[in-house]
Amino acid sequence: MESNKRDYSVFDKFNFERKPVGIKFLLNRPDGIKKLDTGLAFCEMFRKAQESAPFYAEKDNFACMGSLLLGMKDPEPFFESGEIGAADGIYQEARANRRIYQYIPKLARDTVRYVAFSPADKLSFEPDIIVFTASVSQAEILLRALSYSTGKLLTTRTTPAIMCAWLFVHPFVSGEANYSVTGLGYGMKARKVFPEGLMLVSVPYDLLPALRVNLQEMQWELPAYKLNDDERNNYFKKATEEIIRRYQDS
Amino acid sequence: MSNYKTDLSVFSKLDLEYPPVGVKFLISRPEGMEQLDKTMALCEMVREAQDREKPFYINKDNEDCGGRATLGFEDPSPIAESGQVGIKYGIFQEPRANGKMNRQSPTFSRGVVNYVAFARLNELTFQPDLLFFIAAPAQTEILLRAASYSTGEIWSSKVSMVGACAWLFTYPFQSGNINYVPTGLTFGMKSRKVYPEGLILLSVPYNWLPVIARNLNQMEWALPSFMDTREEFLARHDKIMGELFAEFQKP
C-alpha cells in the first residue's frame, strides 16, 4: 500500500468521542499491519478499529454478512431467499427480505481478499472510505462541508438489515457519501455496537479532498445558530435587505 | 374535504413526545377550521400544530420563509434562486452551489396549492396527504421497519441543507416516497430551534399510511434480539440459522 499522502488533521478539530476510521478494500495482503485475531461482524470491526492499532481482516474474520458483500463467497440460498429476515422478525415473510438482495451493493467475487482498518490518526494507507461516528451537531458540519462547494443534497440509502452494505460498500462503489443514525439498523442494534442516536457518516475517497478543503475554509458554527429568536429574525431581515439592495442597485 | 377514513389509531401507541401531525394540500379554503393567526416558516407549522388543540390552515399570508416557493404560493425570486441567500448566511462557498441545490428542490405548480391544513393525529378531521412524525431513533426504527416489513422497501432520504421544507412537504407528496431527516442537520430548522437535536423527523405520504398502520398492528415492535445481550443475540442467531439450515437440507 502507498504511504499516507493526505493530511487528515482537520478532523482532529472535531474532538470526536469515537475516532474516524479509514477502510481500504484490497486484493493483496497489506504490509505492515497485523491480522485481526478474532471473528467479528463488519460493523464490529469498524467499532474495534476506533480504539486499536490498524489491522486487516480476511474471509475467516467476517462473522456476519460482510464476506458476502465483499465478494469473498457466493450467496447462500437461505440468506438470499429471505428466510433469515422473516425468522428474525424483521420482515413479515421471506419475500420482503428477498427483495433487498436485489438492491444491496456488493463487490465482484474474489476482487477483495483483505480489508484494512485504521483510526484516521494512524493511517498508513490511503483509505477508500473514512467513516465518522459523530454527534448530530458534528455531523451537521461534516455534511454541510460536503455541500458547501457543491450544493449536493444530503442523501441516505440503507436497509433494515445488512446496513454494513450501505455504510461501507455503497460509498465505495457509488462515490456518494452516506449516513445513518445508530439504533436504526438491525444487526448493529442487536449486537449493541453503539449507543443510539449517533450519526455514522461514510465518505468515499473521491470526496475527501473537497471535504478537507471545505472544512478548512468554511465557518463551522454559523452565526444564525447562536442567535435567539429576536436576534435571528433581525439577522435574517438585515441579510435579506442587503441582498435586495445590492440586487436593485446593480 | 372528505371525512377521515383510514384508521391511524395505532400510531398513538408509539407514545411520541410530539404528537404526529397530518397535513393536507388544498386548492380551496378548508371548512371547519380557522386560519393560523400569525406568520412563520413552513417547518415551524408542524411544531405549531403539535402545540394547538384545534386544526388550522394557512395561506400565503402566513408563510414567511422558503415555503412560499415550494408550495407554489409565489414564483421563486431571482435572488433566492440564483443562490445569493445561502452565501450571506455562510452555508455555501459560492452562489453556484446554493443555486444548484435550489434547482433540485421540488415545488408545486403556481396556484395549485392555495391552502395547507394542519392537525394533530387525534384531532384529524381530514384524510392527510402527509403524516409527520418526530420520533426518537428507537421509535423511528419501528416506523421505518413497519414500512419495510411487508415490502422490503429500502430506507432512503434526500434533503437539502437549506429549503428542507421542499423535501419534507412537497417531495413525499409528489413522489410517494417516505422521507426523513435527523433534527439538527438542516439550516432553517436548526436556526429556528424548531426541535431539539437528535430526533428524527419523518414525513410519510398517504399511500404509505395503510401499509405502515397494518404492519404496526401485526409485527413485533421490540424484536427479541434487541432485548438480548450481544452474546444472547449471537446464540439466538446460531439457533435460528441451525433451524433454517436443517429445514433447507430436508429432502
To the nearest whole Å, the CA of A202 is away from the closest chain B CA by 15
Rounded to whole angstroms, how far apart are CA atoms B197 and B235? Answer: 36
The answer to whether A229 faces chain B, any CB pair under 8 Å, is yes
Q: Give a yes or no: residue A3 inside a domain.
A: no
Range(s) of the domain holding residue A162:
9-218
Q: Give a yes or no: residue A49 inside a domain.
A: yes
Rounded to whole angstroms, how far apart are CA atoms A152 and B183? Answer: 19
Same domain, residue pair A196 and A250: no
- String of b and e for B202-225 (b: at least 16 CB within 10 Å)? bbbbbebbebbbbbbeebeeebeb
Residues 33-92 of B with CB under 8 A from A: 78-79, 83-85, 88-92
ipTM: 0.94
Residue A77, exposed/middle/buried by CB under 10 A (0-12, 13-18, 19+)?
exposed
Instruction: Search chain A and give the residue with CA nearest B241.
Output: A84
pLDDT at B1: 52
What is the mean pLDDT of the segment spanning B72-96? 91
Q: Give a yes or no: residue A2 inside a domain.
A: no
HSE of B173, CA atoms in CB hemisphere, 13 A:
22
Same domain, residue pair A231 and A158: no
Q: List beta partners, residue A180.
A: A200
Q: Give a yes or no: residue A1 inside a domain.
A: no
- Count up the domains in chain A and report the number: 2
Other CB atoms within 10 A of residue B130 CB: 25
Residues A21-73: tens digit of each pLDDT:
999 999 999 999 999 999 999 999 999 999 999 999 999 999 999 999 999 99
Instruction: Search chain B and give the residue with CA nearest A151.
Output: B97
Q: List beta partners, residue B118.
A: B23, B56
Same domain, residue pair A188 and A231: no
| Cβ distance of B144 and A184 shorter than 8 Å | yes
Nearest Cα to Cα of residue B37 among B56, B64, B22, B53: B56
Same domain, residue pair A52 and A155: yes
Same domain, residue pair A127 and A208: yes
Query: CB–CB of B110/B69 below 8 Å?
Result: no
Same domain, residue pair A193 and A241: no
Same domain, residue pair A238 and A169: no
| Cβ distance of B155 and A136 shorter than 8 Å | no
Same domain, residue pair A29 and A98: yes
Same domain, residue pair A141 and A246: no
Instruction: Search chain B and give the residue with CA nearest A104.
Output: B154
The answer to whether B9 faces chain A, any CB pair under 8 Å, is no
CA-to-CA dists, residue A208 to A10, A133, B15, angstroms: 11, 16, 41
pLDDT interval class at A5 (50, 70, 90):
low
Residues A192-214: tens digit of each pLDDT:
999 999 999 999 999 999 999 99
What is the mean pLDDT of the segment spanning B54-67? 96
Rounded to whole angstroms, how far apart are CA atoms A20 and A114? Answer: 20
- pLDDT of residue B4 exceeding 60, the answer is no
Q: What DSSP designation does A197 have?
A: T
Residues 205-234 of B with CB under 8 A from A: 215, 218-220, 223-226, 228-230, 233-234
Same domain, residue pair A171 and A232: no
> Where is pLDDT greater, at B188 or A76?
B188
Same domain, residue pair A113 and A63: yes
Instruction: Search chain B and give the residue with CA nearest A236.
Output: B89
SS3 A154: strand
Rounded to whole angstroms, how far apart are CA atoms A245 and B98? Answer: 20
Nearest Cα to Cα of residue A190 among A3, A11, A64: A64
- pLDDT of residue A4 exceeding 50, the answer is no
The pTM of the full predicted model, rounded to 2 decimals, is 0.95
Percent of chain A with pLDDT over 70: 98
Residues A131-147: tens digit of each pLDDT:
999 999 999 999 999 99
What is the mean pLDDT of the segment spanning A232-240? 90
- pLDDT of residue A3 exceeding 50, the answer is no
What is the mean pLDDT of the segment spanning B184-201? 96
pLDDT at B249: 87
Q: Show me where the domains of chain B are located.
A: 9-219, 223-251
Residue A131, exposed/middle/buried by CB under 10 A (0-12, 13-18, 19+)?
buried
Could you tell me how many CB contacts below 8 A there are between chain A and chain B? 201
Same domain, residue pair A156 and A231: no
